[in-house]
């Protein structure tokens, strides 16, 4: 495991509650697993962890894995329309999408979540 990263709960009270009812593993077990299994799946690559206001992780992929992931990523017509709207207007509101495409708020969020998957960058 990386020496620069020290896992700690963002909200100790909530973490303690879920640990007591058996719904979480120990703090840092996921990070240990990342460092243990990532090299197996990405030809020796190591994950990069970024701890800011939002925790992010970057896992390197080899070119064949990146190509496979890209091939599997296709958008429906509605998803493509929402994507195009976002590209045209970076400050697009959910209400604008709802009115322009006649969708419910929940559907807009669901479609956006599908489109907002992490980007695959080959190494």
The vertex-28 CA angle with 25 and 30, nearest 5°, equals 70
The vertex-76 CA angle with 71 and 83, nearest 5°, equals 90
Kindly report, residue by residue over 28-78, the tens digit of the pLDDT: 667 778 888 888 777 777 888 887 777 778 887 777 766 776 666 677 888
Residue 74 phi/psi, 5° resolution? -125, 145
Query: pTM score, two decimals?
Result: 0.38
Contact present, 87 and 95 (Cβ < 8 Å)? no
Kindly report, residue by residue over 81-115, the tens digit of the pLDDT: 888 888 888 788 888 989 999 999 888 888 877 65
| pLDDT above 70 for 5 | no
Top pLDDT among 89 and 19 is at: 89
Kindly report, residue by residue over 30-40, the tens digit of the pLDDT: 777 888 888 87
């Amino acid at each position: 495991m990386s020496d620069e990263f020290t896992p700690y709960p963002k909200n100790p009270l909530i973490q303690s509650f879920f640990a007591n009812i058996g719904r979480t593993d120990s703090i840092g077990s996921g990070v240990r697993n990342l460092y243990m299994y990532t090299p197996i799946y990405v030809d020796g690559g190591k994950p990069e962890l970024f701890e800011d206001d939002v925790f992010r992780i970057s896992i390197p992929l080899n070119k064949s894995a990146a190509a496979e992931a890209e091939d599997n990523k296709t958008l429906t017509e509605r998803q493509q329309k929402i994507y195009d709207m976002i590209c045209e207007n970076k400050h697009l509101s959910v209400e604008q999408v709802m009115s322009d495409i006649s969708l419910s708020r929940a559907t807009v969020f669901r479609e956006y979540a599908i489109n907002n998957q992490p980007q695959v960058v080959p190494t």
